[in-house]
Structures are given as C-alpha cells and as structure tokens.
Structure 1
Amino acid sequence: MNSAGVTAGRFRHVYDPSEPGQRWYINDHTLIQEPGGSWHLFGITHPEPADPFDETEFAHATADDPSGPWVKHPPVLAVDRERGERHLWAPFVVRDRDLYWMFYDGGGSDRTATGMGLAVSTDLFHWVRHPASPVFRDGYDARDPMVLRVGDEWVIYYCATSAPGGGNHVVAYRTSRDLLRWSDRRIAYIDPTTGTDAGNTESPFVARHGAHWYLFIGPRPDYVGTDIFRSDNPFHFDTSDRVGHVRAHAAEVIVHGGAYWVTHAGWGQGGVALAPLYFPS
C-alpha cells in the first residue's frame, strides 16, 4: 500500500437509534444536506440482533451538523410486498431538479434479479415510490447503490457478482441522463473472491479528490474494515490500486466545513460514528 495513503482520524459516535429497553442498529446509510439547511440521515434499521431479511423500513434522523445532535423521526419508507419487495436495504439519496431521489435494494423472489427501487420526495420527509420503480434488476443480490454525477451523466455504482447467479464479487455500474433509464451493467472493479451472498465489494462509495477517484468497499478483511482504491478513471479500479484502509463498516464520505469525513455503522456498532478523512496531498 502507498505509505502516503488515505487515512481516518478517531471515530466518534454521533447517533444511536436505540430506544429504552431495545437496542437498534443502523447499517448501510446515506447522508444528504438540504441546500444551506439541515442534514438528513437515512439507513437500514432493525432491533438487535441482526436479521437482514427482516429489515423492512428506513430510519430517518436530522441534525444541523453531521456531528449531531441528531433527532430521530418516524421511518420514511416501509417494504411494499405488493410490488414484490422482500426487504429494504441500503438507501442512497441525491438531489436533482428540485427533487430528491432515493435508490435502494428492494429484493424480490429471485436473488439473481434483485429490484433496484426508487422513491422520490420534495422535502426529504415524505417519500413515494416512482412509477418506474424498480428501475432495473440485477444479481446476485445486487444492492448498496451509490449515485454520482460524472460529466454530463449520472452513474450508479452497486455491488453484485460477475454473473447474476454468482461468481467474482464486483462493483458494477450503469449510466443515465435522467436517473430513470439506465444503461446495461458494466464493471468498475472485480475482486478475485467468489460467491453469491455477502462479499467484500459491498457498500461501494466513489469520491473524487484532486485528480484522482477513490473507491471505498468492504467488509475487508473483517466486518469492520473498508479498503480504498485509487484511479484516474472513475470507471476502472484494480486490486493493485489499494491506497488505504479505514476501520469502518458501510462507509459513506461527506464534505462538510471544507473537510472530508467518513462514517461507520453496522450490526452491533451502536449506531453511526464519524471521523475526519485525510487524502494524500
């Protein structure tokens, strides 16, 4: 690994969704700020212990600053069985055309053709599913979407396997002009590990710093661990590009106060934690 790699400072817990007499967790999550206003956090949630196939609603909390204090609100979305959803996993929210767009994995009866769901909102509190949802299907358990603007198009990154029925764990991506119609899948990163269920390319997050693009994925090698890969091409990362590691699960990167920050959450992690993130100069 490059000795001048990406590092994180000390993580500090900023939000615990637990209630009196009941511990709750936040797993894959997303943070977004209203223009000049409050921060909103959405995420997988469930009482401890972990039961991923019973994760059926998205947590919601708000704060004036990512470091808190966070105010807990009622869940914003519940699983829709009539649409074939089996669970609600890994929301990611972007803003475009005065509308907020939430992408998420709603599952389905066929884990080789998981539905990538879409809900929209004007205020971040009230969400409705878009008529186009799910916007595409992929496998195996294609999930953990992250959406980014690159040039004049949108890119959605997500974890999957090299073939829908299994194979190498990969970070796949698709492109779109309107957030509704998506291209066929392409591959941004392929890992030598193979399987079907949870792998080590989960929770992909792509961030730009200077002239380089950085891909965050995990768990690597353990549940609390995220590897970071650097490239000059946002559509191609290689195992040889590893330039950092942070002790985080389901890491999300935000920019606040002119600095970069990285989050940490997951089963048994006591909620959401935040740490400063440092890129090599």
Structure 2
Amino acid sequence: MDGRVRAGRFTPIYDPSAARGETWYINDHTLIRDARGRWHLFGITHREPADPFGEIEFAHATAEELHGPWRTHPSALTADPGYGDTHLWAPYVMSCAGTYFMFYAGGGVDRTSAAINLATSPDLFEWTRHPDGPLFRDGYDARDPMVLRIGDSWVMYYCATSTARGGNHVVAYRTSTDLLHWGERRIAYTDPTSGTEAGNTESPHVLRHAGNWYLFIGPRPDYVGTEVFRSDDPFHFRPRDLVGRIAAHAAEVVADGGRFWVTGAGWGQGGVHLAPLWFPVAG
C-alpha cells in the first residue's frame, strides 16, 4: 500500500479582493453545498496585512461549480459585542434536518475561557445567533471547530491547549446528541509542542476513508503547511501516525465529482486555492 496522503497542484478559485477594491484575505474557511447543489464558501476575511484580532466578519461567496466562478455576497455574519464576540474566527457550516448550523469561535475578554458559538440559518444567507449564548468555553483561545456524525453522536473537534492557561497544543473534542448541548472535553491528539495562542493543531479536519480515519492539522511545519495523521480510532491520533504533508494553510477537504479536493487559504495567500487530493490505495 502507498501509505501517503498527497495533494496535486493548487489553483486559485476565489479572491475577495476584486469585490472589495483592495487586497483582502480569506483565512480559516468552510465549504458546503446547498439543497440544489450550489456551493457556498464562508471564511474569515479582513484587509491585508494580517490582523487576527481585528477579524470581525465572515465572507460569503457562492458558485455553481467548485472551481468557480465565485460570486461575492454581503458578509454572512459580523461580530456582535453585545453577544460577547471580540472577533469572528473559523466558521464551520453543516446541515441537519433542514437547518444550517454555523459553529464559530467568538473569543471573549478572557482568552483562557474562549467562546465556541452557534448561528443557524434556513438558507445560508440569513443567520441567527443561538439565543442562549456560547455553546461552551475553553482555552487557550479555543477555536477552529468542525463537526461530523460518528455513530449515534455528533462530534465537535477544535484546537486548544492541554490546560486552559496553556500547555501542549491539542485537538480536543466533545460530543452531542442535538448539536446544542455538548459534553465534557476529551483529547484526540496531543502535540509535543506547547504554548498559548496560535499553535500547530489549528484547523482540525477529520474524515473517514476506506476504513481509516484521517486528521488534518496545521500550520506545520510552516505557515503554509498541513500534516495528515491516520488512525483506526477517530478519537485517538498520535504524532507517529503521520502519513502526509500538504502545502496548504487552513486546509479543508471536500468531495466533488467522485473525488476528493483540498483547499488552502490564509494571510498573504491571495484567496482560496484548490487541489486534488489522493488517499492511500491498496497495492
């Protein structure tokens, strides 16, 4: 078996700068198809250069085909200080029972108790924040949620540190039966590196393919870098499970046209880029 996860050549598909009339970036982002098959892209956006704590809106763009052309729409969500948002980071959008759920990191004044928030929509255009406030809080700067169904539960993966005040960079997870109430945090991956603030377990993306589970995280080893880990257990990945490196920041994996694709974006990257993605195959 060829045991490596590999990406092909990246090509640009969406840059918010043209619609803004000046250079803007897309950072952590998410893609979803609506009921009629149209693609929607949501992501952190801000004028260049990088200003993470000034990121207060989520870009929204649509396209009939994954490779575009993409049309820019008004921002999907903007920070609401009255709700407790100090910034808007890393949206993840999914659908369930006719409703779209957007999970995102809203920050807060205490970075050791950062908010993971929820907004919902019937159509991917009009969004309403969950009336009860944050789903939960965690540190340090807990962020970058993504959600998928495993067995009878919803599972949310996100990046954090081993203690709320810092420590090893980790991929944490919590489970839910209704997407609103989330259990205690557990750890799916612990990195040997430690600190607070930004770390190398950002942008966790988990999926199952051919009987194996894959975890994508980064930036590692550099800003434009994602590493891929493989396990037979979606709740347990180890540093030695490394099976691939991809030249992308904030990578997201989507399926389209009978194959997998991986995206990349980030500060100074000129928007969102897309490349074909290959998983190991039996040989």
TM-score, length of structure 2 as denominator length: 0.97
Return the letter of the residue paired with 2:3.
A
Give the % identical residues: 66
Partner Cα separation in structure 2 for residue 139 and residue 259 of structure 1 = 36
Q: How far 1:151 sits from its partner (Å)?
A: 1.0
Q: Does 1:7 align with 2:1?
A: no
Deviation string, structure 1 residues 130-155 (Cα, Å, up to 9, x no partner)? 11331000000000001011111100
Q: How far 1:3 sits from its partner (Å)?
A: 5.7
Query: Would the aligned equivalents of 2:2 and 2:280 in 1 still touch at CA under 8 Å?
Result: no
Query: Would the aligned equivalents of 1:132 and 1:180 in 2 still touch at CA under 8 Å?
Result: no
The equivalent of 1:65 in structure 2 is: 65
The equivalent of 2:150 in structure 1 is: 150
The equivalent of 1:234 in structure 2 is: 234
Partner Cα separation in structure 2 for residue 250 and residue 87 of structure 1 = 18
Partner Cα separation in structure 1 for residue 113 and residue 98 of structure 2 = 31
Partner Cα separation in structure 2 for residue 106 and residue 34 of structure 1 = 25
Partner Cα separation in structure 2 for residue 208 and residue 11 of structure 1 = 23
Query: Would the aligned equivalents of 1:119 and 1:128 in 2 still touch at CA under 8 Å?
Result: yes
SS at structure 2 position matched to 1:160 = strand
Query: Would the aligned equivalents of 2:11 and 2:275 in 1 still touch at CA under 8 Å?
Result: yes
Unaligned runs of 5+ in 1: none
Partner Cα separation in structure 2 for residue 151 and residue 274 of structure 1 = 30
Q: How far 1:4 sits from its partner (Å)?
A: 2.8
Unaligned runs of 5+ in 2: none
Deviation string, structure 1 residues 14-63 (Cα, Å, up to 9, x no partner)? 00100364100000000000124200000000000010000000000000
Return the letter of the residue paired with 2:70.
W
Partner Cα separation in structure 2 for residue 22 and residue 71 of structure 1 = 16
Partner Cα separation in structure 2 for residue 36 and residue 85 of structure 1 = 32
SS at structure 2 position matched to 1:149 = strand
Query: Would the aligned equivalents of 1:227 and 1:245 in 2 still touch at CA under 8 Å?
Result: yes
Partner Cα separation in structure 2 for residue 92 and residue 274 of structure 1 = 18
Query: Would the aligned equivalents of 1:118 and 1:132 in 2 still touch at CA under 8 Å?
Result: no
The equivalent of 2:48 in structure 1 is: 48
SS at structure 2 position matched to 1:67 = coil
The equivalent of 1:97 in structure 2 is: 97
SS at structure 2 position matched to 1:53 = helix
The equivalent of 2:210 in structure 1 is: 210
Aligned residues: 280
Return the letter of the residue paired with 1:76.
A
Q: How far 1:280 sits from its partner (Å)?
A: 0.5
The equivalent of 1:38 in structure 2 is: 38
SS at structure 1 position matched to 2:82 = helix
Query: Would the aligned equivalents of 2:139 and 2:165 in 1 still touch at CA under 8 Å?
Result: yes
The equivalent of 1:127 in structure 2 is: 127
Structure 1 stretches (4+) deviating beyond 3 angstroms?
none
TM-score, length of structure 1 as denominator length: 0.98
Partner Cα separation in structure 2 for residue 267 and residue 237 of structure 1 = 28
Query: Would the aligned equivalents of 2:83 and 2:133 in 1 still touch at CA under 8 Å?
Result: no
